[in-house]
Amino acid sequence: MKLLFVADPLESFKIYKDTTFAMMREAQRRGHSLSACEPKDIRWQSGTPVTAFVRDITLTGQAVDWFAAMQQTPTERTQAVKDFDAVLMRKDPPFDSEFFYITHLLEQAEREGASVFNRPRALRDHPEKLAILEWPQFIGPTLVTRDVQDIRRFHAGHKDIILKPLDGMGGMGIFRVREDGLNLGAIIETLNKDGTQTVMVQRFLPAIEHGDKRILVIGGKPVPYCLARIPQGGEVRGNLAAGGKGVAQPLTARDRQIAEAIGPVLAERGLLLIGLDVIGDSLTEINVTSPTCFQEITDQTGFDVASMFLQALEAAHAFRH
């Protein structure tokens, strides 16, 4: 297959942990050809299909200078997006206006015949914080609101709470407020910006001390191991980007129950790869933009997550054709 990866700049990759790199490495091992671009390289002009300025790359196997590109700059070669066998949308969050716009360009490419994973419409329809609302049976006490008094009442009822913005990533903007309510007013002002931005509030889950588990689901099927991201040094956040320690472990019965309930539904909607975040027995987020942790799980358990992903991608391509 000819694969196009839509991602952040290749030069920014930390290949020892980058999931998109792991996908590329396995794809090349299987004989697929690799091209890459950034969202800014995708364009549409009336009378022509959606096109992208792309670089055709091969992986060198080196830690430094890890890829070789046939083009020195992306603008040397342009190609219709529909001419690739699969397009992998791997742009990291935040899901901002530009991310929103690129999903529309990629959806137009789909209408022209492109196969995009994850599907652009599904990316728009499943914001990572709010997607959990569809499965209330798996989540802890949660409030989504702009209203200050709503948040204060929720705190009064649950005593120990977590507040977070809807567009955060990597643990950014997450606050814990305990029973004493210290700084609750200031935190609300910071997050809801005088009532103009919506906030998610959840009861604090003490099980975070055992880790915020990332459960990967590929083609509707759970990877048998998750990565528990354990907070370090008094942090409340387990995110690896916030200094959490990643420990791979087998799925529990509850983990599997959640994954097997949600995974097939979202796969049917065009989400080939999702990452479920679970603390204890409670689902806290559904990651759809560019779920990570392939390499950490593989390195610690020997289970080849990238191979499972490429098998699912090949199967999806074969099904379409």
Residue 150 in tokens:
């709503």
- What residues have CB less than 8 Å from 268, skipping those under 6 apart? 220
Catalytic site includes residue 129: yes
Identify the active-site residue in 118, 192, 239, 287: 287
307 class by beta-carbon count within 10 Å (0-12 exposed, 13-18 middle, 19+ buried): middle
Residue 51: helix, strand or coil by DSSP?
A: strand
89 and 62 Cβ atoms separated by less than 8 Å = no
Residue 162 in tokens:
């977590």
Identify the active-site residue in 38, 90, 229, 239: 229
243 and 313 Cβ atoms separated by less than 8 Å = no
Identify the active-site residue in 25, 55, 91, 129: 129
Rounded Cα gap, residues 48 and 65, in angstroms:
35
Catalytic site includes residue 287: yes
Identify the active-site residue in 55, 214, 239, 296: 214
Identify the active-site residue in 107, 110, 285, 296: 285
Identify the active-site residue in 82, 119, 164, 213: 164
Catalytic site includes residue 164: yes
Identify the active-site residue in 107, 213, 237, 255: 237
Quick one: DSSP state of residue 138? G
Catalytic site includes residue 285: yes
26 and 310 Cβ atoms separated by less than 8 Å = yes
Cα dihedral sign, 189-194-196-202:
positive
Number of Cβ atoms within 10 Å of the Cβ of 33: 15
Catalytic site includes residue 25: no
Identify the active-site residue in 110, 212, 277, 296: 277
Residue 254: helix, strand or coil by DSSP?
A: helix
Name the residues annotated as catalytic.
Answer: 129, 164, 214, 229, 237, 277, 285, 287
